[in-house]
Amino acid sequence: MNSELLEKNIEKVWFEKEDKLIRGDKKGELVPNWIVAIDFPLFETTDFLTISDQTGEPLYFQTKHRVYEIFKNEEGKYYSKIEETE
């Protein structure tokens, strides 16, 4: 993805001291996270990237209809699994 496009489309970034996780091993726990709201004007939507404040790693990417849980493989590369939103 073009980094200039991504920076241009960031609507807002905020810190949640006690954010309730919606996916992963710690689902339901309250943890400190950073949330990035990203505007996609082509689709007229705003998506959200949740980043752990404790590790600095992405946790999941949420669109209007899906949540993409983000994992890291043994080589340090990130990948996602698709989960339907509840």
What is the residue range of 64's domain? 3-84
How many domains would you assign to the chain?
A: 1
pLDDT of residue 1: 53
Residue 19: give its domain's CATH number: 3.10.450
pTM, 2 dp: 0.80
Q: Which residues pair with 10 in a beta bridge?
A: 38
SS (H, E, C) 11-79: EEEEEEEEEECCCCCCCCCEEEEEEEEEEECCCCEEEEEEEECCCCCEEEEECCCEEEEEEECCCCCEE
Mean pLDDT of 56-65: 90
Mean pLDDT of 31-54: 91
